[in-house]
């Protein structure tokens, strides 16, 4: 625990100002809105930002049907689970720790309200999240979707249960990490981002709140609602979205941007792990934006030459000269900062994590915010209304959302 001496108190005040600043910024920026994305967001307003759709596609009206995929899973239902605790919540619903009755397996079940999604015209983002989740099963550092189903009122994502805590939670507690620990997390995150890029997916919302630790201390990246699919190596998009402290300059300028926005965000997260604050943070919102656009990167204290060099490379304001602009993940892997990392061992989890969350088992919720875990579970979550009997537009607005894995997927 960070000791509340003079410096500690000032640091905690600064963290509180960051929270307040994010809340203010969230009122003006088009960023994450269906932010039920990490299992235990530390503060609710971080999950309640309004998110803008891609300019290239107009969001459907609430009466339009959205086909979220060809698969079906009509047999799954809420009563298959014992819902034990609320472990996160956001604009569209909640994430709950649940135990499946038939085999006692623990899952994180994300429950979303259809009417809220329709009202905010966020169907396309739910589609993007589902599609990306289906591709995550083959990577060790991305949260996986086991299956999904729906009732006439709600959507249910059955996800990996991860209870080692958010990176944000651990950063708040420890202020900053030593370089080897920061390098380990950055390498696992980079591996996950590189995999998404190989599938032509840009992540666009990398931040400590979306990086979870599993029970052993390995990274698990979550929240795919802002992902952009179909992005070839040279393609660009122009949607103004993300989280304020981590926005790349080209996004702030509303210029076309490519997958290098993710490497900018990796640099910002690495900087925050090493120094305790985002690289261009200011208490004044407009000043922070000006810093991102114009202020040179300031690297304080005694960091290795390799650490300074990779931060300068990742946080280069010119996306064409940014580290990763030429050969993407390969450039990141080959940087001297990561020379202690054996990437094959990393991928196969043969490297012992530098920190063990020391959870006693699935019921150990020490790394979740009590604000969530102490909340009563609504009986509506376990209710299974008749899907066919509903006449609401919500009953058929998510055609094909339900998903059950094939034998090849298992």
Distance CA 125, CA 139 (A): 22
DSSP state for residue 204 in the 8-state scheme: -
Distance CA 156, CA 171 (A): 30
- Edge-to-edge order in the sheet of strand 81-89: 81-89, 93-100, 106-113, 154-159, 145-150
Q: Which residues are catalytic?
A: 205
Distance CA 118, CA 58 (A): 14
H or E element in which residue 85 lies: strand 81-89
Structure-derived torsion over alpha carbons of residues 112, 166, 228, 409, reported in degrees to the nearest 10: -70
Give the HSE-up count for residue 1: Cα atoms under 13 Å, Cβ half-sphere.
4
**Which of 188, 189, 340, 179 is closest to 265 using CA atoms?**
189
Helices and strands per DSSP (H, E), number in the chain: 12, 7
Q: Is 119 annotated as a binding residue?
A: yes
Residue numbers in the known binding site are 119
Residues belonging to the binding site for ATP are 119
């Amino acid at each position: 625990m960070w000791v509340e001496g003079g410096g500690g108190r000032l640091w905690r005040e600064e963290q509180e100002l960051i929270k307040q600043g994010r809340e203010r910024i969230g009122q003006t920026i088009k960023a994450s809105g269906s932010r039920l994305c990490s299992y235990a967001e530390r503060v609710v307003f971080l999950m309640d930002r309004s998110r803008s759709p891609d300019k290239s596609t107009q969001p459907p009206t609430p009466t339009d049907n959205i086909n979220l995929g060809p698969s079906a899973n009509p047999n799954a239902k809420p009563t298959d689970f014992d819902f034990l605790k609320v472990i996160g919540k956001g604009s569209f619903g909640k994430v709950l720790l649940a135990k499946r009755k038939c085999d006692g397996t623990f899952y994180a079940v994300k429950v979303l309200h259809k009417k809220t999604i329709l009202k905010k015209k966020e169907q396309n983002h739910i589609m993007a999240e589902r599609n990306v989740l289906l591709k995550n099963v083959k990577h060790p550092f991305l949260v996986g979707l086991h299956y999904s189903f729906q009732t006439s009122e709600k959507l249910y994502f059955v996800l990996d249960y991860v209870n080692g805590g958010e990176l944000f939670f651990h950063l708040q507690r420890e202020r900053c990490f030593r370089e080897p620990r920061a390098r380990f997390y950055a390498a696992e995150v980079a591996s996950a981002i590189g995999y998404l890029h190989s599938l032509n997916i840009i992540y666009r919302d990398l931040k400590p709140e979306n990086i979870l630790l599993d029970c052993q201390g390995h990274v698990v990246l979550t929240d795919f609602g802002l992902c952009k699919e179909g992005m070839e190596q040279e393609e660009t998009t122009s949607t103004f979205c993300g989280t304020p402290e981590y926005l790349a300059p080209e996004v702030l300028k509303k210029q076309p941007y490519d997958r290098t926005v993710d490497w900018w965000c990796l640099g910002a997260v690495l900087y925050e792990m090493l120094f305790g604050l985002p690289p261009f943070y200011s208490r004044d919102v407009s000043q922070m934006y000006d810093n991102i656009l114009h202020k040179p990167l300031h690297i304080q204290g005694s960091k290795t030459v390799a650490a300074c060099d990779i931060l300068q490379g990742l946080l280069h304001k010119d996306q064409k000269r940014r580290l990763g602009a030429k050969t993407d993940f390969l450039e990141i892997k080959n940087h001297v900062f990561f020379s202690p990392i054996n990437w094959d061992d990393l991928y196969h989890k043969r490297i012992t994590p530098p920190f063990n969350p020391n959870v006693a088992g699935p019921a150990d919720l020490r790394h979740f915010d009590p604000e969530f875990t102490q909340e009563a579970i609504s009986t509506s979550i376990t209710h299974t209304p008749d899907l066919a009997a509903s006449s609401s537009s919500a009953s058929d607005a998510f055609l094909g959302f339900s998903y059950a894995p094939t034998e090849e997927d298992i």
